[in-house]
Amino acid sequence: MHLLLVGISHRTAPVDLRERVDFQVRGVEAALGALSGRGTTNEAVVLSTCNRVEVYVACGEVEPTRNDVVAFLGEFHAIEPAALKPHVYDLTDLDVARHLFRVAAGLDSMVVGEPQILGQVKEAHTLATMARTAGPVLNRLFHSSFAAGKRVRTETALGSGAVSVSFAAVSLARKIFGDLRGRHVLVVGAGEMGKLTALHMKSQGVQSVTIVSRTMAHAARTAEAIGGASAAPWDEVGTAVGSSDIVITATGAGKPVFTKAQIEAVMRRRRSRPLFIIDIAMPRDVEAAAGEIEQVFLYNIDDLQATVQENLVRRANEVARAEAIVTEEVDRFGAWLRSRDAIPTVVALRQRFESVRRSELERLDFKLSALPPEARSRVEEITRLIVEKLLLTPTEQLKTLSDAEVLTAYTEALTKLFNLGQQAPSATETLDRRVEPFVRPSKRS
Amino acid sequence: MNAVPLALYSAAFLAYVWHFARRPATIGRAATTLLVAGALSHTFVIGMQTMDVGHVPLMTRASAISTFVWMLVLAYLYTEMTTDERAMGAFILPLAVALQIIPALNVGGTGGEERASVLRGPLFGLHVSSLLLSYASFALAAVIGITYMLLFKEIKAKHLGFFYTRLPSLQVLDTMNQRATVFGWVCLTVGLIVGAIWASQASAYASASPQVQQMSLQDPKIFVAVVCWAVYSFEVFAVRRLGWGGRRSAYLSAVGFAIVLLNFVPIGYFLTRSHNF
């Protein structure tokens, strides 16, 4: 059994091609059905986001499956193979695991550390589970990826810090005021930037948004566009600042709208309740010296951009730690995958023991036939339990072996000692039939 | 016996620092578990001593410090459980560990827990326990105040770094600081008033006691306690009436607790003439 990944992402394909292969248009379920109907894959999961489309499969042979999955991508979306092939990448076995773990951890995202991708990976797995195309190997692979993603999130700062200006403003406001519900926001100026930042604040549940502009009609229009906001005339701007917690200034004025002295006067009336001023105007609306006033937190557009930059650098510094976690999880998954190589031997061993038990019972049948039926079934049960108990420890030991060489030595020894060569089915054959070795009924009875 | 809680508090301290710096969730849970274990063992120690001598161990300075540390840890655990915020542990526990060393090594605590004959009546117990409770609250307020100042400085300087990502918001820290201060101030007021009443009664029934004779504002311990009360009264007043929230009250909390600590350890051990029973 091999793992195979075929996909395209923001690293290999332009956005127009990514849009065309987006499975969400026709539904991932339909794609899973169509793919598994082709018969080349044993298990399949499709991860489709706006930045990547990846098909994860478990299969017997890599080469034909790879070609078939690429062909499927083209056929399903009606794209010429020649247009698709240069952008498609593929990985096999543990490289697939490493890639998926990196994706789940946000290491492969456009904005490193972004949090949505883990949810999208989980959703892709859920869809495949519902469509019954995910089996034991991909289930384990995806659950391991959730663990890797979660560990990276909790053990590193890869996802910390805002990486866009408007989110940086909201995150700062939350660090000053805690919960933003019940807070009052004032937007000075009716431009687009002010409106966008106000919308962002509004999505955080602030109690009120007030727009003040030199032209009352502009203010009213912007307030309407934001929805649930109110407009106030320009001559009330001082009072409005006094009753607000967060002030966003974004006028097109050529000189500062608020001087330090004005803000000081406002702060006296506010009895030093904190005031967060976000000055996104260029040139600036608030005198820089106003930031020196106690309990006034003044950030201009450059400050916000600088914090975004700092966060990006901090995230980049966490990459090495995140990669180390991914490697640990890949090693763990690899050990599990290798332990599956023991399954054919375990199956053969159990079959051998079962056949000995059966043949001995048959040989002694003439002696047992004198017994009442109840005693006979007791004998049957006791012999079965003895075999189970004898095999329990060796089975568990084989399952925990992760070193490929040791495993080979053990399976060879077992094959020789119990003469399993004749009956041990090949690994591929067994796994392809998704044999559960511990419940499989014997065919040799 | 005080060494067991000390060991557990020290282990919890290391875990809290580790959790604060690197934030692995398992270490955070381990830190809380260790601290709860420490608090339980400390409760056991204090419970045993109480059963042994018939009252809460407050008579020697070492046992009073041990009881204070126990209250501080419980107050912190209460804060952690109610706010689901572990960051403060890394700041509170150094204080708890440092102070717990005194009872663990039994520094200067040669005297027994037996109650000096002059220390009679329920008022004495109320006096000491309410003051210890107020000191524990002030310790919490001071540590919260210090973290407030650290975060405030980062936001003002526009360098959103280490503390920004780890501490709760300024508003939460401010509210926690003020609550702890007001609670501590109420306990301090009660403790001082009860102490004054007790002293006036004691001077009637034990006028020969040299300590009771020293019960006046000229005694360093009493004087500094009154200074403390003045500082915290001003803080409570300034926050309510002058709008001195935020950094100013955080600063006052830190200064106030520095005075408390001064009164509690060096003055309590070496200078006071009225409180060395």
ipTM above 0.85, yes or no: no
Compute the distance between CA of residue A290 and CA of residue A405 in angstroms, rounded to an integer. Answer: 71
Check whether residue A215 and residue A285 sit in a common domain. Answer: yes
Tell me, yes or no, whether A276 and A133 share the same domain.
no
Sequence letter at residue A177: F
Where is the domain boundary, A155, A188, A217? Answer: A155
DSSP character at residue A251:
-
Domain assignment present for A323: no
Residues A146, A179, single domain; the answer is no
Report the SS3 class of residue A306: helix
Identify whether residues A148 and A10 lie together within a single domain: yes
- Residue type (1 letter), A30: A
- Are the C-beta atoms of residues A172 and A300 closer than 8 Å to each other? no
Per-residue pLDDT of A70-91, as tens digits, reads 999 999 999 988 889 999 999 9
CATH number of the domain where residue A74 is located = 3.30.460.30
Same domain, A140 and A182: no
Query: What mean pLDDT comes out for the span A92-115?
Result: 91
Domain spans in chain B, listed from the N-terminal domain onward: 1-109, 124-277
**Does any domain span residue A115?**
yes
Q: Is residue A147 part of a domain?
A: yes
Q: What are phi and psi of A209, to 5 degrees?
A: -125, 125
B174 to chain A nearest CA, in Å? 10
Claim to verify: residue A16 and residue A135 sit in the same structural domain = yes
pLDDT for the residue numbered A445: 34
Q: Do A154 and B25 touch (CB under 8 A)?
A: yes
CA distance A436 to A154: 35
B161/A310 Cβ within 8 A: yes
Tell me, yes or no, whether A202 and A281 share the same domain: yes
Which domain, by its residues, includes A423? 337-432
Residue A322 in any domain: the answer is no
Which CATH number covers residue A256? 3.40.50.720
Closest CA to B138 of B67, B63, B235: B235
Identify whether residues A92 and A131 lie together within a single domain: yes
Q: What is the pLDDT of residue B23?
A: 76
For the stretch A19-28, pLDDT in tens is 888 887 788 9
**Residue B172 to chain A, least CA–CA distance (Å):** 6
Q: What value, to the nearest 5°, has the Cα angle with vertex A384 and ends A378 and A390?
A: 135
Domain co-membership, A29 together with A142: yes
Question: Is residue B214 within 8 Å of residue B118, measured between CB atoms?
Answer: no
Q: How many whole angstroms from its chain centre is CA B276? A: 20
Choose the closest CB to A175 out of B24, B25, B164: B164
Measure B256 CA to nearest chain A CA, in Å: 21
Same domain, A6 and A151: yes
Question: How far is residue A190's CA from residue A188's CA, in Å, rounded to a whole number?
Answer: 7
Verify whether residue A50 is a known catalytic residue.
Answer: yes
Q: Pick the catalytic residue from A50, A306, A364, A413.
A: A50
End-to-end C-alpha distance for chain B, whole angstroms: 23
Kindly list the residues from chain B whose CB atom is less than 8 angstroms away from the CB atom of residue A176: 155, 169-171
- Residue A160 included in any domain: no
pTM of the model: 0.66
Asked whether the beta carbons of residue B244 and residue A273 sit closer than 8 angstroms, the reply is no
> Do A110 and A217 belong together in one domain?
no
pLDDT in tens, chain B (277 residues): 788 999 999 999 999 999 988 877 789 999 999 999 999 999 999 888 888 877 777 767 788 888 889 989 998 898 888 777 888 899 989 989 998 998 888 765 544 555 556 666 677 778 888 888 898 889 889 999 999 999 999 999 888 878 888 888 999 899 889 888 999 999 999 999 998 888 888 777 766 666 666 667 777 778 888 888 999 999 888 888 887 878 888 999 999 999 888 877 766 666 565 565 5
Tokens 């509004």 belong to residue: A202
| pLDDT, tens digit, 9 for 90 and up, residues A223-264 | 888 888 899 999 988 889 999 999 999 888 878 889 999 999
Domain-located, residue A329? no
Find all residues with CB under 8 Å of B269, minimum gap 6, and list them.
B61, B108
What's the token pair of residue B125?
A: 């117990």
The count of domains in chain A is 3
Q: Which member of A160, A295, A306 has the closest CB to residue B158? A: A306
Instruction: Check whether residue A135 and residue A269 sit in a common domain.
Output: no
Domain presence at residue A324:
no
* Residues of chain A by 3-state class (helix, strand, coil), percent to 5: 60, 15, 30
Of A155, A185, A204, the residue at which a domain comes to its end is A155
Task: Judge whether residue A428 has pLDDT over 80.
Answer: no
